[in-house]
């Protein structure tokens, strides 16, 4: 048999993952701004490599962040 978690513990875990999802979304915004827009404006490193890496990192981070914030949103 599984032990049921206390409501207070579950609430803390839910808040943790909800806030972790928000953190990932914020980091995604920063990586998009730093990698993608910085590459386009500055052009120091190979643009295609950084552009693709920035788009992939932003996409993956956005998906993970949205999933975590949706699953663990405060009700």
25-63: per-residue pLDDT in tens?
888 888 777 776 776 776 666 777 777 877 888 888 888
Give the domain extent around 31: 12-71
Cα–Cα nearest to 36, from 15, 12, 60, 53:
53
**What is the crossing angle of helices 47-71 and 7-31, to 10°?**
160
Distance CA 14, CA 35 (A): 31
Number of domains the chain is built from: 1
Is residue 24 included in any domain, yes or no? yes
Look at residue 55 and tell me if it is in a domain.
yes
pLDDT band at 75 (very low <50, low <70, confident <90, very high): low
Residues sharing a CB contact under 8 Å with residue 70, sequence separation 6 or more, in sequence order: 21
Is the pTM value of this prediction over 0.75? no
Alpha-helix residue ranges (DSSP H) falling in the chain: 7-31, 38-42, 47-71
């Amino acid at each position: 048999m599984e032990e049921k978690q206390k409501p207070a513990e579950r609430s803390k875990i839910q808040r943790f993952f909800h806030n972790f999802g928000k953190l990932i979304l914020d980091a995604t915004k920063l990586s998009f701004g730093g990698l993608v827009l910085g590459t386009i404006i500055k052009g120091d490193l190979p643009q295609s490599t950084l552009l693709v890496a920035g788009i992939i990192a932003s996409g993956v981070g956005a998906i993970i962040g949205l999933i975590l914030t949706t699953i663990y949103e405060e009700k």
